[in-house]
Amino acid sequence: MFRRYFVTGLLIWVPLVITLWVLNLIVSTMDQSLTLLPVRWQPRTLLGLNIPGLGMVLTLLVIFGTGLLTRNIIGQQLVRWWESLLGRIPFVRSIYSSVKQVSDTVLADNGQAFRKALLVQYPREGIWTIAFQTGTPSSEVLRKLMPATGVMAAPTDAADAAESGPEMVSLYVPTTPNPTSGFFLIVARRDVIELDMTVDEALKYVVSMGVVSPGSKVVRPPSPSTQPVAADAG
């Protein structure tokens, strides 16, 4: 009886505590942006106290304002000038260009990165896992792979290519329960199965180690008061 009550309490408190901890971590991290303001403009100087969450609001406004500014011609010219400046710094250039290329690929509206959830046999044939399509291999990789895999070249006609899609796909296979680490694979399209579930549903499935399947609800153990009472045999 004690164990049943204890597990029921854990199922209520654990998700709530973890959610509050993550939110507190995000808010406190973003609040550090207030230290970039001049001392006379900081809330402690103006109001005599810190306001939790003000840094997060400021960060979101700066990000939104930057995106709004770079939508016009002047903003685009400033971005090109800034990138050109960073491109002249040897060490910074390599880091910035790599991060920008990845972010542009993942966050672009017309990009295909993490737009599809797939099934792939990994780490060996007969064992299936969930993967996310990140794009298509480069032309050089395709030229090297075609003789080895027997995959035919993609159609040269644009209409045929759009109809059949790329013959090879790049995949990211996340680890569980931490999906931020994983493995990069290049496989033939014929060897993967596209899932109907969304990327969010597939990610929840991976993080929960298969416990929370798409479309399912968290099932809590029934309250002790609702347990059926066995009839007295006597």
What are the pLDDT digits (tens) for 118-143?
Answer: 999 999 899 999 999 988 888 888 88
pLDDT at 65: 84
Q: pLDDT band for 159, please (50, 70, 90 cuts).
A: very low
Rounded to an integer, the average pLDDT of 35-57 is 76
Tokens of 194: 């596209």
Average of per-residue pLDDT values in the chain: 76
Contact assessment for residue 201 and residue 231, using Cβ atoms and an 8 Å cutoff: no
Distance between CA atoms of residues 16 and 53, nearest Å: 19
Q: Is the pLDDT of residue 7 over 50?
A: yes
Which amino acid type is present at position 3? R
Which residues on adjacent β-strands are paired with residue 130? 119
Query: How long a stretch of residues is the chain?
Result: 234
User: Is 155 or 195 the better-scoring residue by pLDDT?
Assistant: 195
Sequence ranges of the domains in the chain:
2-107, 117-207
Of the given ranges (60-69, 124-133, 142-151), which has the lowest mean pLDDT?
142-151
Q: How far apart are CA 191 and CA 171, in angstroms?
A: 12
Tokens 């609040």: give the residue. Answer: 31
Calpha distance 173→192 (Å, rounded): 12
Note whether 32 and 57 are within 8 A (CB).
Answer: no
**Burial of residue 223 (number of CB atoms within 10 Å: 0-12, 13-18, 19+):** exposed
